[in-house]
Amino acid sequence: MKERDSLVHLIVSHRKNPALRVRYDLNNWKKEINDSELVKLLHLKIAQKICRTDVLNYYLSEEDSVRKFILSMFWGGIRNNFLKSIISENKEELARKIYTIEGVLKSKKAEVIDSYLEVNSGIHVWGVGLSFITKHLYFADQGKNFFIYDKWTKKFHYAYMLEFDRKRVKDFFCDFDSIEYSSDLRIKKGMHGEAYFHFCHSLRHIFQKVNKKLEKAEQFREVGELEAFVFGEGGRAKKESRTNPRHWILDYIKQNK
């Protein structure tokens, strides 16, 4: 593969564009809390728009694990019916589930993730799948080693594997005939934990390689910033923008699968 066709080159070339550095900033995704009951529940001073850094800071200052969990689910855009279910769940029981899943931060055992995803496991939170539970892990870990693994960053992971670990693609991902913009790649049963840990490694690896090719002012300050960058943007107008990482990562997959 020629360097100009590599995933690293794609990220570097887009990152060098000052407008795109602003557009796909770490704190680009914001959610407005305008529900007075939620503001009260989370002990917030006022209704406000919250960004990623706000949630990270909240996780540092707030001691209640349930409040932290609820805020990250809200910020991540979980469906309202799931959020209401989480809020109405027995607080002690929910705290126990959160404590159990957070055990993976220390143990780093992939099977903890797969156990959590089993609906009847006793630790699963209804409506909170891999995408949302990894949001909580990211914030609980303060973005050091655990990152958000959703349908968009999953595509980045797939693209990474095509270039750096092609032989293991079929270990994690189900076969598919075609992939489109809104497609969500499916992971094989029992492999979600291993796939997630591999993804976190891939981000750290690319982070190092990309930053070596960027000037200091252009570099990603932290791995979470790279993850936010490859996540891209949603919305109809942004969907049509060819500079949106969601587009060029998809194109990369189609060209190299």
Q: How confident is the model at residue 46 (pLDDT cuts 50, 70, 90)?
A: low
Q: What are phi and psi of 197, to 5 degrees?
A: -65, -35
CA distance 101 to 97: 6
CA distance 198 to 207: 14
Q: What is the per-residue pLDDT across 3-41, written as a single tens digit (0 to 9) for each?
A: 667 999 999 999 999 988 888 888 888 888 877 888 888
Q: Let me know how long the chain is.
A: 257
Structural domain boundaries in the chain: 3-28+146-256, 31-132
CA distance 83 to 77: 9
Percent of the chain with pLDDT over 90: 75
Q: Residues 73, 136: contact at Cβ < 8 Å?
A: yes
Q: Residues 184, 22: contact at Cβ < 8 Å?
A: no
Q: How confident is the model at residue 255 (pLDDT cuts 50, 70, 90)?
A: very high
Q: How confident is the model at residue 44 (pLDDT cuts 50, 70, 90)?
A: confident
DSSP secondary structure letters along 178-199: ---TT--PPBPTT-HHHHHHHH
pTM of the model: 0.93
Q: Comparing C-alpha atoms, which of 88, 53, 92 is closest to residue 70?
A: 88
Both structure tokens of 67 = 């409040």
DSSP secondary structure letters along 196-234: HHHHHHHHHHHHHHHHTTS-GGGS-SSHHHHHHHHH---
CA distance 83 to 93: 16
Q: Which residue reads 């959703």 in tokens?
A: 150
Q: What is the per-residue pLDDT across 110-167, written as a single tens digit (0 to 9) for each?
A: 999 999 999 888 999 999 999 999 999 999 999 999 999 999 999 999 999 999 999 9
pLDDT of 108 reads 94
